[in-house]
Amino acid sequence: MTTNNLLRRVSRSRTIKGVFAATTALVAFPAGSFACVQGPTVEGGNAFSMRWWQYTCCIGGCSGSLVRGKRVVLTAGHCIGSDAGTKSFWRCLQNEQHLGTALGSYAVVLGGWANGQNQVSDMGYNVTRTGLSSGDTMWYADQASAYNNSHNHVQLGYPAEGGWNGRTPGWCLTVGPNRYWNTPGDPRFFTNDFFLWGGMSGGPVFERWDWNYGIKQVGINNWSDRCNNAGSRRIDGEAIALLNGAPTN
């Protein structure tokens, strides 16, 4: 469903009749736009629940995850680009159920003097003007045991190329145990033996966790050499500390 479709429908309600006329330019506007989709809720009987991908977002040619409430989309730094507003767009899916779309209000790259352009800083977040879902915070990021191979992991994103051809909704990889390991010499990353398609950058890596404690994101898709080697930026203490300044409303 496109944003225009959604708006067209909602415009039939009295609530936003007055603003519909202005919405048709959305696709043409180059500002960052975000669409989060809601997929089926399948729980039980499997190592992974699908609920978490309700909160995986499409950001232009990249992916992200909705964190800390409704407005903060965690993604890869390289998905933010040279500024917050030039990344587009939202329509890389088919059959999705939008939780909402929104334009970017500002973007933050979590990187500084010594790593402004390398993979350490390949992490950031967009803050949307409008809340993207009606849910509260659905997962939390945690630095612990991100590479614990006794845990299962799932790696999500919306591939804009490759096997999913950009038109299929976007759970992407289900990862069993023993397929993650430390990146030698650099604890800020972990590696796996999958490759990621373009478009999955910025998508979340979730770790199987005790459901009583909710969803736990432990990494962000960063790179792939297309040879069954892919890497993720670990959500470490630094990332958590920097994320703590992001808005929650």
Partner 1 sequence: MKPVSRTVLKRSLAASAGTIILGSIAVMLWTSQHEPDISSGKDTTTGATSSRAKDIRTGSGRAISKENHQAKFQAELDDLIAALDSPDWHVRQQALARMAAFLKSLPREEAIRLSMALLESGVDKEIPGQKFAVGQNAGLIENPSLRVFFLDQLGQLCKEGNRPEAHEMALKILESKVSADEWAISLRNIAWHDAEGARQLIAEKTLEMIRHEDWLRSPTNGFLESMDGLVYTGQMEALADFNKFLDLGRDNPLKAVGSVGYSRMTDLYPVEVARRINENPDLLQEQADVRADVFAKMNVTESAQVAQLETYLDRQDIHPEEKAKAIKGLLSPKLYKFFGLMNEPTPITESQEGAAERWDNIQALVNKWEQDDRYPELNQAFDEIANAVAVGRADDELARVRDDYTADYMRKNPGVAMADVPPLVFSNNDPVDEVPPSNPMPEAPDLKPGEKRAK
Residues 19-78 that bind partner 1 (CB under 8 A): 19-23, 25-26, 28-32, 38-42, 46-48, 50-51, 54, 70-71
- 134-to-70, 114, 131, 234 alpha-carbon distances in Å: 7, 38, 8, 28
Residues 149, 181: contact at Cβ < 8 Å? yes
- Determine which residue in the list 142, 143, 195, 246 makes contact with partner 1, applying CB under 8 A: 246
Q: Which of residues 207-226 bind partner 1 (CB under 8 A)?
A: none
Residue 233 in contact with partner 1, rule: CB under 8 A: no
Token pair, residue 89, equals: 């767009």
Which of residues 88, 143, 168, 229 is near partner 1 by CB under 8 A?
Answer: 168
CB 156 within 8 A of CB 170: yes
Residue 227 engages partner 1 in binding (rule: CB under 8 A): no
Q: How far is the CB of 198 from partner 1 (least distance, A)?
A: 19
Q: Which stretch binds partner 1 (CB under 8 A): 58-66, 148-156, 197-205, 217-225?
A: 148-156
Closer to partner 1 at the Cβ: 161 or 177? Answer: 177
165, 177, 211, 213: residue in contact with partner 1 (rule CB under 8 A) = 177
**Helix (H) or strand (E) run with residue 156 in it:** strand 153-156
Cα end-to-end distance, the chain, whole Å:
26
Among 150, 210, 212, 227, binds partner 1 (CB under 8 A): 150
What mask, x for binding partner 1 by CB under 8 A, covers residues 88 to 107?
-------xxxxxxxxxxxxx
Strands 215-224 and 204-207: antiparallel
> Of all residues in the chain, what percent are helix, strand and coil, respectively (each to 5)?
20, 30, 50
